[in-house]
């Protein structure tokens, strides 16, 4: 990925989304752009037009955080988009701080596996920034067995969603889930554009999936922290689950997800049935 193009396309895409009315600008006459003009953004951010044009050409080197925040306000960026803009600026640093290599983090510590296995009433699974599932408790394995055993997904949630024919049945809200995955990958790519396994995955999906490519071109970003997931599981049927996402400080590239069902709901009963089916054979399906 060309980082300068990435920066420029992101800023232009956000500028195109803000109408003059939203920005408090009286727009008169014919306009050749769908959103704000460059000079209007520069005025709103209290910077020169030339300086903003330089940024939109993809050059964020040396841009102060205060200017980035002013630009975020001018473009009506949300929290995820503002964080992404700061990530892009950090990535433009010609001498970035070296990120700790994730190679030493590949093995799941026995103590961590014991911890998630001790959670018996809720599915728990862990993935990395490349969307590979790296660990799960027995109920988590049972819930995600169709993903873990899928030949197209190969234990990777992004590959499963965009490359497997089974994904649209497993995730009834496929469109929303697909949007979320691409926005999350955009966020991670902005945080670490030099992550080769991540860029390789993105390149593969851009090449093989029209649905991914169209979403990737939108430059949307999103924080993936909590929400509701609907799953049509081949063993127990429809499930509606709430999820919470958590970072893992000991493994900064890993994220843990826990699912719960509304007490007394059909989904809670079906989760109990899923747990009673036995998940031990699914452990062998995840290999890293």
Domain contains 227? yes
Q: What is the DSSP string of 2-52?
A: -HHHHHHHHHHHHHHH--TTTTT----S--SSSS--HHHHHHHHTS-HHHH
Domain contains 98? no
Same-domain check for residues 85 and 142 = no
**Number of domains, the chain:** 2
- Does residue 15 contact residue 35 with C-beta atoms inside 8 Å? yes
- Does residue 102 contact residue 75 with C-beta atoms inside 8 Å? no
Domain contains 228? yes
Domain contains 97? no
Which residues are CB-neighbours of 130 under 8 A, at least 6 positions away?
156, 195, 197, 198, 201
> By three-state DSSP, how is residue 96 classified?
coil
Domain contains 280? yes
Domain contains 11? yes
- Decide: pTM greater than 0.85: no
Q: What is the pLDDT of residues 205-214, one digit of tens each?
A: 999 999 999 9
Interior/surface letters 149-165, b for 16+ CB within 10 angstroms, e for the rest: bbeebbbbbbbbbbbbe
Domain that holds residue 110: 103-285
Same-domain check for residues 19 and 160 = no
Tokens of 29: 């006459």
Q: Regarding predicted confidence, which is higher, 44 or 282?
A: 44
Q: What is the pLDDT of residues 231-287, one digit of tens each?
A: 999 999 999 999 999 999 999 999 999 999 999 999 999 999 999 886 554 444 454
The strand pair at 124-128 and 226-233 is best described as: unpaired
In angstroms, how far apart are the furthest CA atoms of the chain?
A: 68
């Amino acid at each position: 990925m060309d980082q300068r193009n990435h920066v420029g396309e992101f800023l232009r895409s956000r500028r195109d989304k803000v109408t003059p009315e939203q920005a408090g600008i009286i727009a008169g006459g014919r306009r050749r752009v769908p959103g704000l003009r460059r000079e209007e953004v520069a005025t709103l951010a209290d910077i020169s037009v030339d300086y903003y044009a330089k940024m939109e050409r993809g050059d964020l080197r040396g841009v102060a955080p205060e200017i980035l925040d002013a630009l975020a306000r001018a473009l009506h960026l949300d929290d995820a988009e503002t964080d992404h803009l700061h990530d892009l600026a950090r990535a433009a640093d010609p001498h970035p701080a070296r990120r700790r290599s994730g190679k030493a983090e590949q093995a799941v510590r026995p103590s961590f596996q014991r911890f998630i296995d001790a959670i018996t009433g809720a599915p728990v699974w862990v993935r990395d920034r490349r969307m590979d599932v790296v660990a799960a408790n027995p109920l988590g394995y049972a819930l995600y067995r169709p993903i873990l055993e899928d030949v197209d997904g190969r234990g990777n949630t992004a590959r499963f969603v965009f490359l497997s024919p089974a994904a649209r049945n497993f995730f009834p809200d496929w469109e929303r889930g697909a949007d979320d995955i691409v926005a999350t990958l955009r966020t991670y790519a902005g945080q670490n554009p030099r992550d080769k396994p991540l860029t390789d995955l993105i390149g593969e999906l851009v090449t093989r999936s029209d649905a991914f490519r169209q979403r990737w071109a939108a430059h949307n970003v999103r924080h993936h922290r909590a929400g509701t997931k609907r799953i049509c599981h081949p063993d127990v049927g429809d499930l509606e689950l709430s999820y919470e996402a958590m970072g893992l400080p000991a493994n900064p590239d890993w994220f843990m997800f826990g699912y719960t069902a509304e007490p007394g709901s059909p989904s809670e009963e079906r989760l109990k049935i899923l747990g009673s089916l036995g998940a031990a054979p699914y452990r062998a399906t995840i290999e890293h």
